[in-house]
Chains A and B, each alone.
Chain A
């Protein structure tokens, strides 16, 4: 098991470096002098000159890359031009809000998805099944910004129940700031979990060991929970991992709509303000978080499916 995770980690390291390089070069592709871009339009020539020397921008590209990579490895993502603060500090300050949103959103979406999926599978071919699968098809077609906007209009404008800007304050509880963003994630992410749960349970229910369990007299519910759901776990975990990885992209949109100051909003604000140091740092950070989530999913696989453990130990 340890070896299996170690191998995954080993594969992830070059990917992390590759991600950083990709972001670095894409930012470099932005036309114009990097120093002028990094400092923004208001910078004077002297400031630009000083910045060039500070950042080593007058060195050859390979040296610059080396410096950037070394800084990156030590967790130094540069300094924001707008707020003059280290990018890493900005990210860490905003991180809890995004994590909070992601965990609640994906957690509740997964629970909802699994419950609805099991319900649909149990009532297969009857009206609850059609209702649930129909709703999931619609749910999968709703872009998260659209869900978010509609919820914002409904709860903030029509009902005046939640704040327009999702920051805690007098009369605004944490629950109220979280409610609509989390609901957006639940609507957007439960559809896929639901479908996967339903189809894998239906598939497993056809298999022989389920027939055996039924034959030895277990009642339907015991068959469902003790056998079927356990074996449906792998595809469900895959989808939850996929959703968790996808929610970083989703957070960009959701946080923008609800003006919730997390990492996503940090990125969008930086893009709009042309604060490229922050764009570079945040992008790299988000991608690495995504790699970490994928690693985590792999590790959970190993815990759930003994076959993977054995294979890894053998190899």
Chain B
């Protein structure tokens, strides 16, 4: 399989067949497959976009990547080191290398800490020298555009945008190599979103970061990502570079997702691919392709045999039996950015 992710030096993070199942709370024995057999690798210095409807497993995937929850199967390797094979102490050291920015800036800072304490905390955990911490806090505040005189304030005194800046400062405190942004701008006003996105682009250059950017907003994903993976129902259905995916999508779900995005101008109105049916039952997914119940092209093969993610040329993968053969057509008008 030539397109399976490998451990090449340029890959910073490699996921192999990662699964995360939850048991049904009522004890019926059914498994909820939040993430099911996801494989991809993230290259050093790129912004990897992950897009999908809410509930498709994006956030679970981010929690698994950060080892906030153990995987049910498969492996996650950071710079070639498999998380499952390292000890607890080494894992703590490795946490320095990858950090996360959460969706809700109102919820991701302990309300009982001052801004200074919040940014200092990661450095205190990893026993940075005290004087170094102070200078670093100031530098980080400047980097994210927060006034230094706010150091002694509490999070509830900040606006949403300021809080997200604080979260970013906090996550950069340990000089990570990889930053996972889980819907990092979704809770913000559109004008603030743009500011934060620009800030993140700047910070990426300055701090040599790699981003995994998770969002349900195609506009945001298109603006910031180099490569994009489309997720549906716990699986990656398509993965390609930004330009490819917006013009030569191969999976019908990608097509539907793109056509669902609003367009700016009435003249750009186009034919849309509308989805019928419901999202599959979480506890009882279809036997074949997870998308078959809602796909207009689905046939008996789709219903019985699950397609695997296969390569279609350089940097293009799709999980559809008929990838490239379907008459998918949407004029992607583009979202506001």
* Interface, chain A (partner B; CB < 8 A): 314-315
How many Å lie between the Cα of A314 and that of B28 in the bound state? 9
- Residues of A with C-beta under 8 A to B27: 315
- Residues of A with C-beta under 8 A to B26: 314-315
Interchain Cβ contacts under 8 Å between A and B, 4 examples: A314-B26, A315-B26, A315-B27, A315-B28
CB nearest to B24 among chain A residues:
A315
Report the minimum CB–CB distance from A232 to chain B (whole Å). Answer: 28
How many Å lie between the Cα of A152 and that of B27 in the bound state? 55
How many Å lie between the Cα of A23 and that of B229 in the bound state? 62
Within 8 A of A (CB), among B14-61: 26-28
Within 8 A of A (CB), among B57-90: none
B286-305 to A contact mask, C-beta < 8 Å, 1/0: 00000000000000000000
CB nearest to B27 among chain A residues:
A315
CB nearest to A314 among chain B residues:
B26
Q: Does more than half of chain B's interface fall in helix, strand or loop, or is it mixed?
A: loop
How many Å lie between the Cα of A314 and that of B26 in the bound state? 8
CB nearest to B25 among chain A residues:
A315
- Residues of B with C-beta under 8 A to A315: 26-28
- Residues of B with C-beta under 8 A to A314: 26
CB nearest to A315 among chain B residues:
B26
Report the minimum CB–CB distance from A315 to chain B (whole Å). Answer: 4
How many Å lie between the Cα of A315 and that of B28 in the bound state? 7
CB nearest to A311 among chain B residues:
B26
B208-241 to A contact mask, C-beta < 8 Å, 1/0: 0000000000000000000000000000000000
How many Å lie between the Cα of A315 and that of B27 in the bound state? 7
- Residues of A with C-beta under 8 A to B28: 315
Report the minimum CB–CB distance from B208 to chain A (whole Å). Answer: 52
4 nearest A-B residue pairs (beta carbon): A315-B26, A314-B26, A315-B27, A315-B28
How many Å lie between the Cα of A315 and that of B26 in the bound state? 5
Report the minimum CB–CB distance from B281 to chain A (whole Å). Answer: 15
How many Å lie between the Cα of A314 and that of B27 in the bound state? 10
B175-212 to A contact mask, C-beta < 8 Å, 1/0: 00000000000000000000000000000000000000
Report the minimum CB–CB distance from A200 to chain B (whole Å). Answer: 28
How many Å lie between the Cα of A230 and that of B166 in the bound state? 49
Report the minimum CB–CB distance from A7 to chain B (whole Å). Answer: 11
How many Å lie between the Cα of A96 and that of B331 in the bound state? 83
Report the minimum CB–CB distance from B32 to chain A (whole Å). Answer: 16
Report the minimum CB–CB distance from A189 to chain B (whole Å). Answer: 36
How many Å lie between the Cα of A314 and that of B24 in the bound state? 12
Report the minimum CB–CB distance from A8 to chain B (whole Å). Answer: 16
How many Å lie between the Cα of A263 and that of B13 in the bound state? 70
Report the minimum CB–CB distance from A53 to chain B (whole Å). Answer: 49
Report the minimum CB–CB distance from B201 to chain A (whole Å). Answer: 46
Report the minimum CB–CB distance from B23 to chain A (whole Å). Answer: 13
Report the minimum CB–CB distance from A256 to chain B (whole Å). Answer: 47
Report the minimum CB–CB distance from B127 to chain A (whole Å). Answer: 45
How many Å lie between the Cα of A173 and that of B109 in the bound state? 68
How many Å lie between the Cα of A315 and that of B24 in the bound state? 10
Report the minimum CB–CB distance from A3 to chain B (whole Å). Answer: 13
Report the minimum CB–CB distance from B55 to chain A (whole Å). Answer: 21
Report the minimum CB–CB distance from B271 to chain A (whole Å). Answer: 41
Report the minimum CB–CB distance from B38 to chain A (whole Å). Answer: 31
Report the minimum CB–CB distance from B230 to chain A (whole Å). Answer: 34
How many Å lie between the Cα of A39 and that of B72 in the bound state? 61
How many Å lie between the Cα of A83 and that of B122 in the bound state? 69
How many Å lie between the Cα of A242 and that of B26 in the bound state? 27
Report the minimum CB–CB distance from B18 to chain A (whole Å). Answer: 30
Report the minimum CB–CB distance from B28 to chain A (whole Å). Answer: 8
CB nearest to B26 among chain A residues:
A315
How many Å lie between the Cα of A315 and that of B25 in the bound state? 9
Report the minimum CB–CB distance from B90 to chain A (whole Å). Answer: 41
Report the minimum CB–CB distance from B287 to chain A (whole Å). Answer: 24
Report the minimum CB–CB distance from B124 to chain A (whole Å). Answer: 43
Report the minimum CB–CB distance from A106 to chain B (whole Å). Answer: 35
